[in-house]
Chain A
Amino acid sequence: DQQVKQNSPSLSVQEGRISILNCDYTNSMFDYFLWYKKYPAEGPTFLISISSIKDKNEDGRFTVFLNKSAKHLSLHIVPSQPGDSAVYFCAAMHNQGGKLIFGQGTELSVKP
């Protein structure tokens, strides 16, 4: 039973445009959500997070939006750069002492 789902395995975007990566979850107990970025042959690195008391969190070119009623979150990257090409994982947890449950990942390709 996949509690965190990323239904798009891949996404291709032109440099300078917006990249939108989507994530859905089924467990209503989740109250913290994180995005990770992963380059080949490296471990995932933490990108940005949001708690369920907010609906938006921004950090430079990266913004995460949370729609609790739809159990949906998205990561916006504006403007997209070729160095953003990587696999992006969405993850969720119930309380900060809990364990992270990851989605399947979306491979983003930003074309020059």
Chain B
Amino acid sequence: NAGVTQTPKFQVLKTGQSMTLQCAQDMNHNSMYWYRQDPGMGLRLIYYSASEGTTDKGEVPNGYNVSRLNKREFSLRLESAAPSQTSVYFCASSKNRVLNYGYTFGSGTRLTVV
């Protein structure tokens, strides 16, 4: 019963490098999300996917792209990393009835851009 799995857990990038954060869920959830957590800012939504084949921008999408590869997997790509993208990234998934179950979050990826 893995829930939401994120890889990698830690990453250090140089400015300008690219990387993809991977996320997979095994709960047959339709919706998936990417958030970033920064001190004093809480969790801010980057992109989300309400269902397989659809993606939409959240509050802070600039500098990121996403791919909903299939129902299980939702990846986040940084094409040219910047120090401002240093953050902890969380992937989440949900059933349609969010009120009863909330979102299920992964354990996060801590990214440092130097």
- How many A-B pairs with Cβ below 8 Å? 65
Interface residues of B in 1-32 (CB under 8 A from A): 4, 31
Interface string of B89-105 (1 = CB under 8 A from A): 01010001111111111
- Bound together, the chains give a CA A105 to CA B43 distance in angstroms of 8
Answer whether A41 and B107 are a contact pair too, CB < 8 Å, given A49-B100, A99-B45: yes
A34 sits at the interface (CB 8 A) = yes
Assembled-state Cα–Cα distance A94/B67 (Å)? 25
Besides A6-B42, A99-B58, 14 more A-B contacts (Cβ < 8 Å) are A9-B40, A34-B102, A41-B107, A43-B105, A43-B108, A46-B101, A51-B99, A91-B43, A93-B98, A100-B103, A102-B35, A102-B42, A105-B42, A105-B43
> Is A65 in the interface zone, CB < 8 Å from B?
no
Residues of chain A contacted by B97 (CB below 8 angstroms): 96
Interface string of A16-54 (1 = CB under 8 A from B): 000000000000000010101000011111100101000
B33 within 8 A of A: yes
Q: For the complex of A and B, list the 3 residue pairs with the smallest distance between their C-beta atoms, beginning with the closest.
A: A46-B102, A43-B105, A102-B43
Interface of B is mostly: mixed
Q: A43 and B101: CB pair below 8 A?
A: no
* B42 in contact with A104 (CB, 8 Å): yes
| Distance (whole angstroms) from the CB of A73 to the closest CB of chain B | 14
Count of chain B residues with a beta carbon within 8 Å of a chain A beta carbon: 29
Cβ–Cβ contact B108 & A100, under 8 A:
no
- Kindly name the residue among B44, B50, B105 whose own CB sees the greatest number of chain A CB atoms within 10 A: B105
Contacts of A4 in B (CB 8 A): 42
A–B pairs, 28, beta carbons within 8 Å: A4-B42, A32-B98, A32-B99, A34-B98, A41-B107, A42-B108, A43-B4, A43-B92, A43-B105, A43-B108, A44-B90, A44-B105, A45-B105, A46-B101, A46-B102, A46-B103, A49-B102, A89-B42, A96-B96, A96-B98, A96-B99, A97-B31, A99-B33, A99-B45, A99-B58, A100-B33, A102-B43, A105-B43
